[in-house]
Amino acid sequence: MPIRIILVGPPGVGKGTQAALLEERLGAKQLSSGVIFRSEIEAETDLGQLAKSYIDRGELVPNGITIQMMVKRLRTDDVRQRGFVLDGFPRTVRQAEALSEELDKEGIPLDAVVSLEVDDEIVVERLSGRIGCTKCGEIYHAITKPPKREGICDKCNSPLFVREDDKPETIRERLRVFHENTRPVIDYYAGKGKLSRIDANQAPEAVYASIATALGEA
């Protein structure tokens, strides 16, 4: 049976890592809202061009367009057959409610919503230590994965840099936005009896094992 789940959690909690593991081991298709947006825009679909018009003006893409893009992908044959792991969506209660309506219409049951939980200060520590390569994009971490030579990429010898997104003050702002907009999504799914809370302050394999147990796949 295909697994259909949503991963929710703050930036830097490891949603992408867990979504990739779930796809690799359970076959469920990893669906990132950012990737779907980019593919629609690159393909110059009607929805993609509409979304781009908002992005180009520096505005948020309206919920209606976002939902249409996501549902379009959920309707595809491979997702219907393999199931899905939604990563980074829904971000607001309004999006969650609209998604529930569309899934009900399509007859697609949601198995679980997994909330990956970790203290804010751990997120700041994890993300603020990240360093990226200016050329090949390789990611390092000042504490857990430092480059062999300070400031130089091991792979291509290019200079390393700290992204604007990974500066402590920016991370704290992203966490504020998460708590304000997305924390209520967790309460929404808890109210529906769909929520599993997972301690994400563990090694990735331990987090995956906890998710698998919650899904009955251990």
List 80, 94, 174, 197, catalytic entry? 174
Told to judge if 163 belongs to the known catalytic residues of this protein, a careful annotator would answer yes
Distance CA 114, CA 194 (A): 8
Cβ atoms < 10 Å from Cβ of 2: 16
Told to judge if 91 belongs to the known catalytic residues of this protein, a careful annotator would answer yes
For strand 160-161 and strand 130-133, is the pairing parallel, antiparallel, or unpaired? antiparallel
Told to judge if 15 belongs to the known catalytic residues of this protein, a careful annotator would answer yes
List 52, 80, 82, 91, catalytic entry? 91
Contacts of 47 (CB under 8 A, 6+ apart): 40, 65, 68, 69, 72
- Sign of the CA dihedral with 148 first, then 19, 9, and 36 last: positive
List 75, 149, 155, 163, catalytic entry? 163
List 15, 29, 73, 126, catalytic entry? 15
Distance CA 215, CA 58 (A): 39
Strands (E), 69-108: 83-87
Structural Rg of the chain based on CA atoms? 18
Residues marked active site are found at: 15, 91, 130, 163, 174
